[in-house]
Every structure is written in C-alpha cells, then in structure tokens.
Structure 1
Amino acid sequence: MFFAHSLPGESEERWQPLAEHLLQVSRLAAEFARPFGASRAAALAGLLHDLGKYNPQFLAYIRGERTGQGKGPDHSTAGARETLAAFPGGSDRLIAQLVAHAIAGHHAGLADGEGVGGLTERLKKELDPLDPAWREELGTEWMVALEQAFCPHRERARLPFQLSVLGRMIFSCLVDADFLDTEAFFKTAADLTPDRDWPRLPDINPHLTARFDAHMARKQADARPNELNGLRADILTHVRAKASLPPGLFTLNVPTGGGKTLASLGFALDHARIHGLSRIVYAIPFTSVIEQTASIFREVLGEDVVLEHHSAIDAEDGKERSSRDKMRLAMENWAAPVVVTTNVQLFESLFAARPSRCRKLHNLAGAVIVLDEAQTIPLHVLRPCVAMLDELARNYGATIVLCTATQPALGAPSRPGVRGFDGGLELSPERELAPDPEGLHRRLARVTLRRASDAMSDADLIGELAGHEQGLVIVNSRSHALSLYREAMAAGLAGLVHLSTRQTASDRQALLAEVRLRLAPQDPRPCRLIATSLVEAGVDIDFPRVWRAEAGLDQIVQAAGRCNREGRRPVADSIVTVFRPADASTPREIAGFASALAAMAGGHDDLFSPAAIAAYFEEVYWRKGEALDRDKVLSRFRESAGTLDLAYRSVAESFRLIEERMAPVIVPREEEAKAALAALAAERMPPGAAARALQRHLVQVPRPDCDRLRTNGHLSFVEGFGDQFAVLATPQFYTRETGLEWERSDELSLDGYIL
C-alpha cells in the first residue's frame, strides 16, 4: 500500500492511504470550484497532485529507509506531466495547462511557464517510474472533458489574463483542499481539533440581518433628531432598496460622515441573502480603519462571524515544504462569513504565487466585495487591480461595491475624448447606490477649505495648534509625525497624542478611544492629535480644526471628513488648512498628486464637488498614462497557438501595492500577545489562530530596518516556526506614545535568543 502521510513511531495501519487522500482532496477541490464552473479541473488537480507518491522511492522515504537523503523525492511533477499527457490537444489543452501549473506548484508555489525554474523546464526532468497501482486505485473517470461553464464572459483580447485568473483559482481550490484534508488527518491522529470551523453566510444571514436591523433601530432611537442623522437614515434606506439588483459592479458615492460603512454592510447582507452569495469581504486601505470597522461589525453581527485579517505573518521563502511543515504555516482561507481585510492583503493575494497567499482566493467567488475608499489603490498597480475586479464580477459571480467619497475613482472616461483612465470599469449610473450624490455633497458640506499662502514650519504649526485646544494635524510620513510630536511636547502643548503605524493596532485603538473621550461635546478637553494619513479613511473622529500637509484632492477630502464630522459647528468656523511643510520633504508620489490638484484647482470654486473630483482624477490618470500598469503585469500572461506562457512567479515577485517592503514585528507588551506566543511555542495553539491573536500586537517595519534589528539581536523567534513570528526583544524601543523606533537598533546590540 502507498501512503500520503505517515505518523513516525506509529503502526502503518494509522497512516493515511494515498488513494484516500487524493480522492478526498479531489472531492473538496471540486466543491470549492463549483461556483465558477471549474469543478472538473479542480477535481483533476486534487486527484493527481500527489501522484508522485506512487513511487517506491517515496514509500521508502516516509518509512525512514532513505537515510541521509534529506527531503523526499519530487512527488508533484508526475501529476502535472500525466495531466498534460492525458489532454494533448483540443479545447481542454489550455485548461490542462492550468491544472499542471497548480499541481506542480502546490508546495513551492506557482511557477512561470517559461524560463529558468519554469513549468516547461520542470516537466523535462527525469522522474522515477510510478507503480501501476495508481491507475487501479484512481480509476479512469477523471479522463473526461475539462471545459465547463468557466469564464462565461470571455474576450479574446483579455483571454490570457482571464485564464491566468482561472489557473490561480484552481490552484487556490487545490491548496486549500490539500491543507484541510492534511490538517484533519494529523489533528485526528493527535486527538486535536482543527484550527477553526466557520458557519456559512447563507445559513446565518437571516439572523445577521435581524441583528443589523435591531442595531440600526437602537442607533436611530439614541441619535439626536437633526438633519445629518435624518440624512444618514435616508441614505441607508435608499441603499438597501437596491439590494435586489443583479450581482455585478456597484458604486456608493457618499461624502464622509454620511454613514457609508453601515449602509454598505446593510446592502451587502441584503444582497447576499437575496442572491445566495457566500460571504462579505470588506477591503480597507489602512489597518487603523480595519480595527474600527471590525469592531463595529462584531458589535452589530456578533463576535463569532467576523474575521479580521491584516497581518502578513506567513512564510515568504517559497520553499517546498513537507506536509508536517505546512501545518506550521500561518495561513488564512477566508472561509468566515464576514472578512475585514486590507487592500494589500486582497490584491497582493490575487496576484500571488505562494500557496499560503493563494489559499483564500476561491472564497472570493460569489462574494460581496466592498472596497472602502477605492480611490486609494496605488497608481502603479491600478490597471491590473481594476482588471482583476472586473474579472471577479464577470466570471466569478462576485459583487463589487466601490465605496468612496470621491467617485468616479475607477470608472472609464464618462465620454469620448475625456482625459482619464482608459481601461477603467464600465460603471452604470443605474447601479449607483446613493441617492443623488450631487445633492448629498451640498447637504453634507461642513467645512471651509483654506490654503496657507506660505510654507509652514513645524514651529508655525505648533504655534497655530497652541491657539486651539482641539486640533488635528496630518502629515505625510511617520518620521515627520514623530518629530513634530516631540517638538510639540517640548513646547508644552496639553492633550498631545501621536498616531501612526509605528504603534500596534491595539495601542492605536486605545489612543483613538482616548481621543474620542477628549472630543466628547459633553465634556471637551484639550486634544491635539498629530498623525499620518491613517486617520483619514473611515476613522470616526470629529475635530473643530484640521491642518493637512499638501497631498492629492482625495486625501484632502478625507482629511476634511475629520473636521466638523457631526455638523455641530458653523461651517465658517470649521477650517481645514492645506499647507506645504517647510521642515519635511513631500514624498515623490504625493507631490505628483499635489501637482495634479494644482493643475485643475483653478477651474473649480468648490474643490469638494463631484465635478471637481472627476476633473482631478482625469488629470491624475492622464499624467500617469501607461504607468498605471508600471510593471506591465497584464501583458505578462500570454497565449499562442494553444500554448500558455503565464508569468505567475515573476508577476508575484514584482506586484506590490506598497513599494517599501515591510516585515511584521510582534510587540509582546500585553497579556494577549504573551499568552499567544507561549501557547504557540508549547504547540497548544495552531499557527493560524496565533497569527490572528497577534496581529493586533505587531508593527510593520521596513524590511532593511527589520534586518538590522535582527542582525543586532533585537528580535527573537518562536522555535520551530522559522522566521514567521519575529518578536521584539528590546522593549525600550517601544512606547505606546511614540510606537516602535526601529532607528535605534544600532544603539546597542544584544545576543538574539529563542523563545
């Protein structure tokens, strides 16, 4: 008998038979792929993914008879080769190539089609012959036509890209099914429970909708009866009334403070219930907003249905791993009914090659995907991101809601000859969820915009801030925010708070709660917040004055949404001042946005009007042109004469939303973090559960600085998990007020240690 997985020291009677594993993975993968019509292809991938284990040499390896041999024989190439041999031509050949990519990469990740290390090269390697038993145990039923109803909306010009997405989806089905079945075997053998078992959204949606309705009823009963709260209620009613429209692309154009978050959740619940959709995925640009949004959703829907996923605690090395090693990876599959994540997690996963990043992708089929502040997608990857959103809506049954205060961020030009975003989404006015966006803008106008005539030094800013007991200053970098905070502290300003991604999510949440208490109208206290742009998208704070370092119009609009948010003050007294910093350079990309704003600002009296915002984005996109796909992602997937050349790995290596590569460092100050690390080290907690618990206690550090922390002994690592869980070992580098000062890593060097 041949085996998929062994249990060292245990009788072979307790090992997992290979045929049992292959058939179970095949069944699971087919089930995962059914929503997008590729169940036969996914079933084939599952059935043949470990075909190379029908090799006497592999059997000797897992029995421990190949001493000194290191890792076992290649067991994934054989299945890829057999797939291509079974479908040598015809319409199934293209799909067979996608299946071969998935099988060959199910441990080490998807490879490019051509080039060094590509699939073509790998298929040429010499392999040990397989035992004929595989044909008897697996049968021949799998040799059927692969082409089903996948990619129903195909276009010749975009077919290579569409097929690349299909291949990545098949890969996702395979690696998730493989992991789940492998985890079930090892956990059962050890009498442990699997990591997590989420309920299905269709099963619980009526209950969640009832909770949502009850929450909104309480909220309305407690709200002050004023125009703003009445307007928010009207927006919610109008948005939910459109939930019966067919799945596809929607926009929700509501100015900041209009209640977009809860309105979009209400729409998503209703739309998913009416159309039987599988889950709700809420993608947000900043982790600071994820914490707030996930907290709101848990309050509304309950603790056990919301997955908050933003940490990048997973393996980056791309090594081929044994099944046991894979159990030690922190991997998410987004099987939760409601997922709150970042744009980085969403889009970098959609263009990823590693199993740990791709495992979740099939769960986007048939989902409601809400992009909060959609205009924040970085320009250098905008075209491929938009193409991916379009593909999810076209061929995977997903509904996409572009939720923003600055539409039309991702739409195609409104008429021929307009400078703008060629290749943008075809957005229909009939699928705008908000009532009368032009009218909403006028009714929700709450601030006066001013531009400082001269550059402002930090001393100037502190002088102006000193004249107001409550004020918010937003600058363009973490270093500027920290230096300005320290100078303000030295000047003796009361109520100072510093907020940036130097701090952990847990501390940011606590600091924002403190800010809200200080701003409470019934007991106002001094509150001067110095922050980076992380406060701009969806953070619910209300200051009387805001100073914003020069940036793009969309960021200024977002900053203005933190001023007089509740409409309690006169518009003339609620001033947003845009200034050019004298003591800090403006980052190059932000300077480009500021230039685009300057180019169009003269033609508009009201820069916050929908017409001005449309003109701004036309200017931005026209200036960028081909640089909207800077790395030529879309042209790196090719097909010719029935042969695919898919640059999976090279695209994954270059596709980055945030160009500065970051690495997560865990700050173990709080008991939750200490307990999770201890449980992980003692193997009492699965790595996925530990990663979820720890993501509120980590800081994303620029990779060169993280490497320097490691070299100088300021990081420790949980034994047995490689470098996945990097822990700050020098506590004096972190305070709640200033966050992690990684620049201090050269002050002293310590000997690293193992937890």
Structure 2
Amino acid sequence: MYYAHSTNRADKRDWQGLAEHLQAVAKLAESFGHRLGIGEAARLAGLLHDLGKYNPAFQDYIAGRGNSVDHSTAGAAIACQRAAGGSKIVAEIVAYTIAGHHAGLPDMTGKALSTLTERLNAFAGASLDPAWESELAVNAANLLPAFQWETTDRPRCAFQLALLGRMIFSCLVDADFKDTERFYGRIEGRSFDRQWPQLEDILPGLLDRYDAHMSRFGSPAGELNMLRADVLSHARSRAREAPGLYTLTVPTGGGKTLASLGFALDHARAYGHSRIIFAIPFTSIIDQTAAIFREVLGDEVVLEHHSSIDDEDKSPDRRAGRDKLKLAMEDWAAPLVVTTNVQLFESLFAARTSRARKLHNIANSVIILDEAQTLPRPLLLPVVWMLEALARDYGCTIVLCTATQPALDRHNFPAGHPAGLPLEGKELAPDPEDLARRLKRVTLRHAGPLSDAALIDELADAPQALVIVNSRKHALQLYRAAEAAGLAGIVHLTTRQYAADRRRILADVRQRLKSGAPCRLIATSLVEAGVDLDFPCGWRAEAGLDQIAQAAGRVNREGQRPVDQSIVTIFQAPDNPPPSEIKDLTGDMQRMMHRHPDLFTPAAMADFFGEVYWRVGKEGLDRGRLDGEPILQKFRLSGSRTDFSYRSAAENFRMIESGMLPVIVPGDEQAREAVRQLEIDQIPSGALARKLQTYIVQVPPKARGLLIRNGKVAFAAQGIRQDQFAVLLDGTLYDKTVGLLWEDADYLSFEQFMI
C-alpha cells in the first residue's frame, strides 16, 4: 500500500492512499481545466504529480524514516515519455507543471538551479514500484487545448504555450491543495479555506442590489449627475456585446467606477462569467473601491486582496502535507475580487505555487483595469500580450478603465507593431471628447522652478491645498519644512504608512475639506489615481501629462467652484529633480503641448502617449524598451520543443514598487492579535495575510535586511512559516504622521549596508 499523506497514527489506518489522492486531484484539476478548454492536460498533471511517491524510499520518509525524496520529477518524466504526436509538446508543458508543483515552475535550461532538463536527465525510473501502472489509468493521447493556435507568429505561439502551462499549473496546485485540505479537514474536523458562493447563483440578487442602490439617487438633477447617468446608461447598454477588450474613458468625477461595475454585472449575466476582478494601481484606493462595492453588493461577496506577503522559503522539502495548507494564499474564488495591478500581473507571470494558484479563477472573468494608464511602460509588451491572450483564449472580458487612456489601440502604432490592441469601436463611454469638455474642472498654471521655501510661501495663502511630489524623500522634506514654517493643517500621505493609517488620514482629510478646516496635504503620487478628494487648488511637481491629469482630478472634483479659480500649478523642484523616467515624460509633454489648447482632452492624451511610445522605441518602437527585462524572450520554441524560463521570467517581471519587501507594523490591537496568531499552525497563511494586509509597509530589500540584522524586524513564526511574515519589533521607528523611517535603524556603515 502506497500513501500520499500521513497522520500521527502509526497503524496508518487514517493515512491517505496515494492512488486515491492522485485520482481525486486529477478529477478536480480536470474540472477546473474543463472550463478553460484544457481539461485533459490538467487531468494528466493531477494524475502524475505525486507519481514519485511510488518510491519505497519516499514511503519510509513520510513514516518518519530516512530523508526527503524528490517525488516531482517522476511524473514529469513519465508525461514526456507517454505522449505522442500533436500532444507531445503539451505533455512537455505538463512536465513543467508536475516538476514545479512544490518548488515552483522551473526553467527548461540555463544557469538556474534544478532546471527541468537536469531533472529529467537524472530521473531513475527503476526507483518506482511498477504498481502505479495498474493503479492509474494514464492517457496522454489527446492533450491539445480547445482554442486556436498562433501558427504564423512563433514568439506569440511560444507565449501562448507558456500561458497554457501556467493555467495547467494553477489547476494542478489548486486541486492538490484542495484535496489535501479535504483529507486533513476530515481527519481534524475543520476547514482551512473560506467558501465563496458562485457568481452565477447570486447574480440576480446582486443586480437587484445594484439597481436598488443606483435608484436611491433618484432622477438626476444638475449637469454632473445627468452626465454620470448618461455614462452609466451607455456602458450598460453595451453589456450584451461579445466578450473581449473594451475601453471606458471617463474624466475624473464622471462615475466610471459604478458604471464599470454595472457593465460587469450585466455582461456576466449575458455571458456566464465566473467572477469580476477589479485591478487598481495603488493600495491607497483599494479600501475606497472595496468599501463602495461592499456597500452596493454586500460584504459576503467581496474579497479585498492586496497583500504582498508571499512564501519566501525556497526549500521545496518544507512544503508537503499540512505545511502546504499553512502556506496557501488566496485562490480568488470570490465572486468579486478587488486587487492591485501588482497582484494581478505578477500572478499571471508567477512561477511560485502560492501566487499561481489563482490563475484558473482569473480565466472567464470580467477584468476591470482601473486607472489603466498606470500600466508600466517597461513591461508594456508582456502586459499587452497577456491581456490579449486572456481575452482570446480564456474567455475574459477586459475593460481598460481610465480618465487618460494610454493610446493602446493598434491604429496608434506602426502597422504590425506587437504592442497594439484591437480596441477600435470598443469604447463604452458615450463621447469621450464631449465628456472631457463638459467635465473640465481646473486651469493649469506653469510656474517653472519652485524651491521648497517658495512653495511653502504659496501654500501660506491657500488654507486648503494639495501638493504632490515625485518621491517619498521629497514629500517628507516638504512636510517637515511646512511644519517648521508653522502652517496649519499640514498632513502627510506616503507609502511609508500602512494602509489602515492611510485610510484614517484620508478620512480626516475629507472631513477637514468638508468642514472648511485648514488642510494642506503633502503626498506622493499614490493619492492621484482615483482617490476621492476635492481640493480647491493643487500643486504638482513636473511629471507626464497622464499623472498631471490624474492629480488635477483631485481639484474641484465635484465642479462646485469656477474653473478659472481652480488652479493646478505645475512646478519644477530644483533640489529634488524627477527620476529619469518622469524626466523623459516631461520632455514628451513639452513636444506636444503647443498643439492642444486643452491638454486634458482625449486627443491631447493620445498625442502625448504617441510621443511616449515614439521615444521609448527610438527607432520604430522596438521591443527592447517595452519589454525591458526582457520577459518575452524567455519563452522560445526550438522546433517542436519548448525552451521556457518560467522561474527567470517571474523573477524579472517586477512592476512599480514590487521590488520592495513587506514589513508588518502591529500598529493596533487587531494587528497585534493577528501577529500572535502566526504561531498557531492550524490557521493558514492566507487567512492571516488577509487580516494583516492593511498593516504592511513596503521596504527596500537592503533596508529590510538591515532592520533584521539590527533586531528591529524579525520573522514572527517558526517552522514552515518562518520566512513569510516579517514583523516590526521596534515601534519607535513608525510614526503615524510620516510612516516607517527605516533609515533610523542604520547603525552600520554605508559600506556594510551595501554588502
């Protein structure tokens, strides 16, 4: 008798049989994959993933005798050996997923440790008991997915196959987790994971709630409310059009969040989508958006997921049995998910099990990319290819929702350029040019160079004002200088603060603005994309036109003040020049701004992004500057064989701020209680990460390493979870007004710090 999972019983009476586990995972993975058209491949992955446990040495290991044994390579090797004909290349992709179901998807070749090629070459089939042949019905004859292949473009075909691998991998690791959970849950009488309702089952009720919420506003009175009603009506009227790629271009204040939700609900009803995913650029507006959706649809259907806590442990030997349950992160099975661009796209390019688990639940979703102009240009090509593949192959409808569309329509690019999307005729808003004209709220003023002292002098005459600068360092300097100058109502907002504190600060700012109290907010760009604020005036350090337009959206948002008195001042900061990327964007704006009397129209924005894409390509928009790592080149076809570098690509795919590492700040009793629960093995990491995600500050990797070495930060739990949750121990380093000052822990020399 061969076993998959053991318990404390020496007589093995309640151990899980290996064939039982493999067949259950295969069946569940097939059910996940069936919805994606990849059921047979997912079934094969599930059936073979733990084949190496038919090794007597592994059975000794789970019985407490001997050392750990590689049990992932055997199934990968058998998958490759058993397939033939057209299924052979898919079987090879299945091999990646089986080999990586504990340690993460591997590279086929290269310098990375434990490549798939090395593992397959080292596989010794004699170590397997032939009993597996009679216990498992392995069929690798018909693995081709049910969608159209890219037959004329080999780079796109390689990308398509690589995404197929990630989707199979997701079906496998989620099925493996769920069956393991069921086994231990039955033994221990508990459940590890939250159970969510299916969207299709509750959609009629959600639409009733949505319509009831919108009806509370009554007949629209006033130009702004009539305009919002027109946007909503027009977007919902397009909901029965075919799934695919869409845009929703609505200036700030035009009601695009609720309009996009209405479209998503109607579209899901028309085409049977499994869930709705809202991806947002900054955690600063996750709370705001999730709160709106909870108010409209109810708390029980909304998952808010922006935690950057992940499994940082590189040792696959420590991820088996109960351990995989402790480490498991969100599977995105909720009907409505509110997340960040970082979570969405880094999951789609992930190699680790903890992040990739959710991918099969992204398929067949309505995905709203809020503030789509923030998509990182250095990664634009892989992002665009991913969006197109999700829509083409995996049943997704994707809405690029923003006030400042990044001109991704193919007609904005040279013929045949790989960065363009088929967006012609896909606009959901009634008339973007007319909306921009009717929703004009501010007047731009170009001030030229403005020192901090001069800026503070101007702020002295503006009791309520917003200032946005380009770095945390400059924001902190300016905040302290304004405090020293004795200005009333100075408020600081930065990613140095954890999300729960930022939420409190924004609530205080809104109350000050409403009551007329002094309120001078000094912030970084995190405040400009979608944060619901309405200042009389603002200052923005020089940046690209898209950022300036977003900053302007926080001034006279409700249109209650005269446009000519609602001034947004653009200035240069001589002592804090912008980083090179932003400096280049200001040059792009300079080259086109004389051509447009109103810089906030869609035509001006398209002209600006045309300048951006012309510059980053230099010679016809070459791929290198839009796929800067590069990512796409890590997926190649060599004849009928794959040469995929999943692990290397995942390491290189890093969006804005995502190179940072999380530190948990236990700033109140709720956070401290969650930290205490980290020592309880029975609580899975995903549940704890959900509680702690609003208490995270992102820190540069070297700074976090320094904090750990100096005893200011420590990993809170031992055992399997010991590398997951880094917690701040020294509360003096965190100030609620300015956030985490990790520099204050620098007791080492600069040379030591750089080691």
Give the deviation of 1:152 after TM superposition: 5.7
Aligned residue in 2 for 1:713: 711
SS of the residue aligned with 2:411? coil
Aligned to 1:574: 566
Larger CA deviation: 325-334 vs 575-584: 325-334
Taking the aligned partners of 1:408 and 1:139, their CA distance within structure 2 comes to: 51
8 A Cα contact 2:192 2:325, kept in partner: no
Name the counterpart of 1:561.
Answer: 553
Aligned partner of 1:449 in structure 2 is 444
Does residue 740 of structure 1 match 2:740?
A: yes
Query: Bigger shift: 205-214 or 314-323?
Result: 314-323
- Residue 506 of structure 2 corresponds to residue 512 of structure 1: yes
Q: Equivalent residue for 2:752?
A: none
Partner residue in 1 for 2:585: 593
Q: Superposition pairs for residues 132-151 of structure 1, below 5 Å?
A: 132-140=130-138, 142-151=139-148
2:300 counterpart (304, 320, 332):
304
Tell me if the contact between 1:676 and 1:685 (Cα under 8 Å) persists in the aligned partners: no
Deviations 1:215-261 (A, max 9, x none): 1112447x7x2111111111111111110001000000111111111
* Range with bigger deviation, 111-120 or 344-353: 111-120
The residue type equivalent to 2:247 in the other structure is T
Question: Structure 2: how far apart are the matches of 1:279 and 1:705?
Answer: 38
Q: Counterpart amino acid of 1:498?
A: H
1:252 aligned partner, one-letter code: L
The aligned amino acid for 1:238 is: H
Instruction: Provide the C-alpha distance between the structure 1 equivalents of 2:246 and 2:266, rounded to a whole number of angstroms.
Output: 14
Contact 1:151 1:162 in 2 (8 A): no
The aligned residue for residue 248 of structure 2 is 252
Deviates more, 1:378-387 or 1:596-605: 596-605
Is the 8 Å Cα contact of residues 380 and 419 (structure 2) preserved in structure 1?
no
Deviation at 1:588, TM superposition (A): 1.2
SS at match of 1:12: coil
Deviations 1:669-707 (Å, cap 9, x if unpaired)?
112111212223234532111100100111111111111
Shift of 1:155: 4.9
Sequence identity percentage: 58
1:752 is matched with which residue? Answer: none
Structure 2 SS opposite 1:215: helix
Structure 2 CA distance, aligned partners of 1:668 and 1:641? 54
1:543 corresponds to: 535
Find the partner of 2:595 among 597, 603, 625.
603
Tell me the distance in 1 between the aligned counterparts of 2:475 and 2:145: 55
TM-score, normalising length from structure 1?
A: 0.95
Please report how far the alpha carbon of residue 193 of structure 1 lies from its aligned counterpart in structure 2 after TM superposition: 1.7
**d(CA) in 2 for partners of 1:421 and 1:594?**
25
**Residue 165 of structure 1: CA displacement?**
0.5
Q: Deviations over 1:505-555 (max 9, x none)?
A: 1110111111111111xx311111000111111100000101000000000
CA distance in 2, matches of 1:132, 1:514: 68
Contact 1:421–1:622 at 8 Å: present in 2 too? no
Q: Take 1:708 and 1:409, find their aligned partners in 2: how far apart are those partners? A: 42
Q: Does 1:622 align with 2:614?
A: yes
Is the partner of 1:91 in helix, strand or coil? helix
Q: Which of these residues, 78, 84, 90, is aligned with residue 82 of structure 1?
A: 78
Matched ranges for 1:10-29 at <5 A: 10-29=10-29
- Contact 1:109/1:318, CA 8 A, preserved across alignment: no
Q: Is the 8 A contact 1:410 1:425 kept in 2?
A: yes
Contact 1:49–1:79 at 8 Å: present in 2 too?
yes
Deviation at 1:422, TM superposition (A): 5.0
Unaligned stretches of 5+ residues in structure 1: 750-755
Matched-pair contact (CA < 8 Å) for 1:238–1:433: yes
- Aligned partners of 2:86 and 2:413: how far apart in 1? 38
Match of 2:339 in 1: 341
Secondary structure of residue in 2 paired with 1:13: coil
Structure 1 position 187, deviation (Å): 2.4
Q: Which amino acid aligns with 1:100?
A: A
Asked if the contact 2:467/2:539 (under 8 Å) is kept, the reply is yes
Is 1:100 paired with 2:92?
A: no
Aligned match for 2:105, one of 83, 107, 110: 110
1:50 maps to 50
- Cα distance in 2 for residues equivalent to 1:675 and 1:8: 30
Are 2:28 and 1:36 equivalent residues in the alignment? no
Structure 2 residue 440 is the aligned partner of structure 1 residue 438: no
Contact 2:381-2:418 at 8 Å conserved across structures: no
In structure 1, the residue matched to 2:463 is 469
Measure how far apart 1:312 and its partner are. Answer: 1.3
Q: Does 1:229 align with 2:225?
A: yes
The alpha carbon displacement at 1:8 in A equals: 2.5
Please say if residues 373 and 405 of structure 1, whose CA atoms lie closer than 8 Å, have aligned partners that are also in contact.
yes
Matches within 5 A, 1:146-295: 146-151=143-148, 155-157=152-154, 158-220=156-218, 225-295=221-291
- Given that 1:714 and 1:745 are in contact with CA atoms closer than 8 Å, whether structure 2 keeps it comes out as yes
Deviation at 1:306, TM superposition (A): 0.9
Whichever residue aligns with residue 283 of structure 2, its letter is T
Residue 488 of structure 2 is aligned to residue 494 of structure 1: yes
Contact 1:447 / 1:574 at 8 angstroms: preserved in 2? yes
Asked whether the 8 Å contact 2:409–2:424 carries over to 1, the reply is no
Deviates more, 1:155-164 or 1:345-354: 155-164
Q: Distance in 2 between matches of 1:583 and 1:488?
A: 16
CA contact (8 A) 2:150 2:160 kept: no
Task: Give the drift of 1:504.
Answer: 0.9
TM-score when normalising by structure 2: 0.95
Q: Is the Cα contact below 8 Å between 2:497 and 2:739 reproduced in 1?
A: yes
Unaligned runs of 5+ residues in structure 2 are 750-755
Q: Offset of 1:660 from its aligned partner? A: 6.5
Of residues 458-467 and 390-399 in structure 1, the stretch that sits farther from structure 2 once superposed is 458-467
Deviation (angstroms), 1:496: 1.2
| Matched-pair contact (CA < 8 Å) for 1:318–1:354 | no
Q: CA RMSD in A?
A: 1.7
Provide the C-alpha distance between the structure 2 equivalents of 1:555 and 1:710, rounded to a whole number of angstroms.
Answer: 36
CA distance in 2, matches of 1:389, 1:715: 38
Cα distance in structure 1, aligned partners of 2:339 and 2:151 = 29
CA contact (8 A) 1:235 1:435 kept: yes
Give the aligned residue type for 1:62: I
Q: Are the counterparts in 1 of residues 665 and 696 from structure 2 also a CA contact under 8 Å?
A: yes
Aligned counterparts of 1:632 and 1:744: Cα–Cα separation in 2: 36
Deviates more, 1:539-548 or 1:579-588: 579-588
The answer on 1:685 being equivalent to 2:683 is yes
Letter in 2 for 1:322: A
Moved more, 44-53 or 209-218: 209-218
**Equivalent position SS for 2:216:** helix
Q: Which amino acid aligns with 1:373?
A: E
- Asked if structure 2 preserves the Cα contact closer than 8 Å seen for 1:413 and 1:421, the reply is no
Deviation at 1:108, TM superposition (A): 0.6
The Cα shift of 1:331 comes to 1.1
How far the C-alpha of 1:421 sits from its partner, in A, is 6.7
Give 1:603 deviation, angstroms.
1.5
Deviations 1:354-387 (A, max 9, x none): 1111111111110001101111111110111000
Closer/same/farther in 2, CA of residues 271 and 126 from structure 1, 3 Å limit: closer
For 1:219 and 1:26, the matched residues in 2 are separated by 50
1:374-431 CA-to-partner distances (Å, cap 9, x unmatched) read: 11111110111000000000000000100011124322234757xx9752111122x2
Say which of 359, 362, 365 aligns to 2:360.
Answer: 362
Superposed displacement of residue 585, structure 1: 2.1
